[in-house]
Amino acid sequence: MGRRRILAALLMVGLVLSACGDDEGGGGASSPSTLAGDDGTVEGTTGDGDGGEVPDPCTLVDASVLNDALGSDPGSGTVQGPVPDVRKVCLYPTGLILAVEDAANYEVSVDLIREDPLGATISDVDGVGLEAIWQDFGGGLGQLVARGDAYFVGVSVPAEGQAAAQAIAEAMLAAL
C-alpha cells in the first residue's frame, strides 16, 4: 500500500467533511479559524444533532473496542474542530480517523464520495446504522460512512479493512 494512496484517502475524508454544512446548516464550507480554539481543537462532548455541540469522536469508543477491531493500539486520538455544532474529527497517529457529523449532512457527504472516489470502489453496506457505504481504496485502506438518527459517523482505516471500520462505526453509533 503506497503512501500516496493513504494520503489521498485522508485528503478525501478532509474534503468530504469540510464540504458539508456551514454555520447555518447549509452546504458550504466553514471557516475553522472562527469556530475552533487557537490551537485548532474544540472542547466539549455533548450534542443532540439539532444545533447542539457534536460529540467528541475520540471519546465515543473504548480503547479495548479499537484494539479488538484493529488488532493493535491506535494510540491517543486528537480531536479537531473545525465546527463544533456540525462536525468533529479524531485523528490517531496510526492513520485511523473517526468523525462525527450532524446527520442532516449525510446525503451531501455520500454524494461527494460517489462523485470523486479517487479510484476507490464504493459499495452500500447493510446492517450498520440507518444506511452506510464503504469506500475501498484496496489493501485494507478505506472508509466506512454510516448514518444514525441524529449523527453520521466516518471511520477511515489505514490498512485494517471494512470489518474493522464497521465494528468501530457500530460502536460509535451505539454510543450516540
126-135: Cβ within 8 A, 24+ apart: 128/166, 128/169, 128/170, 128/173, 129/153, 129/169, 129/170, 129/173, 131/106, 132/166, 132/169, 134/162, 134/165, 134/166, 135/9, 135/12
Conformational region of residue 114, where left means phi above 0, alpha means psi within -120 to 50, and beta covers everything else:
alpha
The number of beta carbons lying within 10 Å of the beta carbon of residue 76 is 10
- List the end-to-end C-alpha distance of the chain, in Å, as a whole number: 33
∠ Cα 130 75 166 (to 5°): 20
The pLDDT, as a whole number, for residue 86 is 86
Amino acid at residue number 54? V
d(CA 82, CA 94): 21
* Residue located via cell numbers 472508509: 143
What domains can you pick out in the chain, each with its CATH number?
3-175 (3.40.1000)
pLDDT digits (tens), the chain, 176 positions = 444 444 444 444 443 444 444 433 333 332 222 222 333 333 333 335 455 789 999 999 999 999 999 999 999 999 987 677 789 999 999 999 999 999 999 999 999 999 986 889 999 999 999 999 999 999 999 999 999 999 999 999 999 999 999 999 999 999 99
The pLDDT, as a whole number, for residue 78 is 95
